[in-house]
Structure 1
Amino acid sequence: MKRLKFEYRTEVTFDGSVIDHAFLLRCIPREEARQHLEAYELAVNPETDIRIERDYWGNTTLRGVILPPHNCFGFKVSGEITVDLARPRKLWHPIFSYPTEYTQTSPAMEAFTEKLLAGDESKDGKNALSKALCLMNGLYAVFEYRQNVTRATTKAAEAFALGQGVCQDYAHMLTAMCIYAGIPARYVAGFMLGEGHTHAWVEIFSEGSFYGLDPTNNLMADETYIKLAHGRNAMDCSVLRGGFKGNVSQSQDIFVHVEEIK
């Protein structure tokens, strides 16, 4: 069990004024068996009323609307959380056995998955975790982390064909490959120890429990990972979504810091 301190802030700047700005945030860590939010503080700028709800997957969502003109929007969440992987986990939802448009395999991905599993001792299907680790190791060996070559809407098969991408692409591809191999898998968004940006990884279901796999770093997710949201793909876990009135361009700055409390 680890106790972690976290800070997450995002600042969106517009090059002109916008109005009627509606937004949906998933910026507060989930409350579930593996992690407990001890305390947190939230600030949204410009200030507005916030409605806190849970979505279909149990992720905490914040909804609000800013009506007056403004040229920036931001939020900050900070707090402390306890992560304990020894706690019991819930049963998996059958929907995590089916691909979406973002986690659909291509023939090339299917051939790659079959090749990787052909040499795995657990190919008989008795150990889903071992199979998933084999797939993660193989994907990490051939895929290159590179920014600005994919988009938020890039699908798993498209990223695989490119051979390059970011953590969202790694997570979509591993989810797709696991589902193709008969392993229930879901996409996860959150933070990991250190300083940087939000992160994405995968949780697979094996022998009664979910296990986190981080294909970007070729690691199993441990108690230094904080989950914000999980779902079928990145669209289910988007941290910031919204719309506004105004013909403007925008830029975004993100900062994440996670440290262990001794």
Structure 2
Amino acid sequence: MKRLKFEYRTSVKFDGEVIDHGFLLRCIPKEEERQHLEYYRLDIWPETEVKVADDFWKNTTVQGIIVRPHRSFGFNICGEVTVDLSRPRKTGHPIFAYPTEYTQTSPAMEALTERLLREAFGDVRQVCTPQQPEEEQANALSKALCLMNGLYDIFEYRQNVTRTTTTAAEAFALGQGVCQDYAHMLTAMCLYAKIPARYVAGFMLGEGHTHAWVEIFSEGSWYGLDPTNNLMVDETYIKLAHGRNALDCSVLRGGFKGNVRQNQEIYVHVEEVE
């Protein structure tokens, strides 16, 4: 078990005034079996009333609207969470067995998935499904790790070559991308192999930006895999949200009236509390 202190700040500046600015945030760490939010403080500017509620995936959302003219918008959240991977496990949901437009495989991705599993396990047809008994799902985690290792070997981390709307197949064809692309691709490959998988957004120990990874369902439990770093997720990661893809987990969404350009800065810091 680890106790982690976090701070997350996003600041957006506009080169002119905007009005009727509606926003939806998923910046509050998720409360679930293995993660407990000890406390948090959230500041939003310009100050406005907000509504805190759960979305379909039980991720905490913060919604609000700023009607008056303003040239900047931002929020800062800080607090502490306790992460304990030994806590009781959670059952799967059948919706995480099916791809979305962002997690569809291409023929090249399918060929790689089949080759990796064949080389490591022989018969690629021997994959798990959510309906199979737990004893038949024993290889789901090892298969997902195999796919993650193979993806890591051929894909290059590079910023500014993909967009927030880039699909798994598009990123795979480029051969380069960021953590969102890694997570979409691994999710797609796992789903093709009949391994239930979901997209996760959150933080990891250190200083930088938000991060994305994957959770797969095996032997009655969700396991986190970080394909960007080729690591299993441990107790130094903080989850904000999970869903079918990045769109379900977006930390900041919104819209406003105004013909302006904007500049966004993000800061994340996570440290372990002794």
> What TM-score results when the alignment is normalised by the length of structure 1?
0.99
TM-fit CA distance, 1:88: 1.2
The match for 2:164 among 112, 131, 152 is 152
Partner of 1:250: 262
Partner of 1:162: 174
Question: How many percent of aligned residue pairs carry the same amino acid?
Answer: 77
Query: Which amino acid in structure 2 is aligned with residue 66 of structure 1?
Result: I
Distance in 1 (alpha carbons) for counterparts of 2:42 and 2:245: 26
Distance in 2 (alpha carbons) for counterparts of 1:54 and 1:221: 24
Distance in 2 (alpha carbons) for counterparts of 1:120 and 1:141: 15
Query: Which amino acid in structure 1 is aligned with residue 24 of structure 2?
Result: L
Query: Cα RMSD over matched residues?
Result: 0.8
Instruction: Write out aligned runs for 1:84-163 (5 A).
Output: 84-121=84-121, 123=124, 124-125=126-127, 126-163=138-175
Instruction: Write out aligned runs for 1:1-262 (5 A).
Output: 1-121=1-121, 123=124, 124-125=126-127, 126-262=138-274
Deviates more, 1:136-145 or 1:115-124: 115-124
Query: Which amino acid in structure 2 is aligned with residue 22 of structure 1?
Result: G
TM-fit CA distance, 1:119: 1.4
Q: Structure 1, unaligned stretches of length 5 or more?
A: none
TM-fit CA distance, 1:89: 2.3
1:8 is paired with a residue whose SS is: strand
Distance in 2 (alpha carbons) for counterparts of 1:252 and 1:88: 39
Deviation >2 Å, runs of 4+: 121-126
Superimposed CA distance per residue, residues 63-112 of structure 1 (whole angstroms, 9 cap, x where no aligned partner): 00000000000000000100000011221110100000000000000001
Superimposed CA distance per residue, residues 136-191 of structure 1 (whole angstroms, 9 cap, x where no aligned partner): 00000000000000000000000000000000000000000000001000000000
Count of paired positions? 262
TM-fit CA distance, 1:120: 1.6
1:119 is paired with a residue whose SS is: helix
Q: Structure 2, unaligned stretches of length 5 or more?
A: 128-137
2:99 is paired with a residue whose SS is: coil
> What TM-score results when the alignment is normalised by the length of structure 2?
0.95
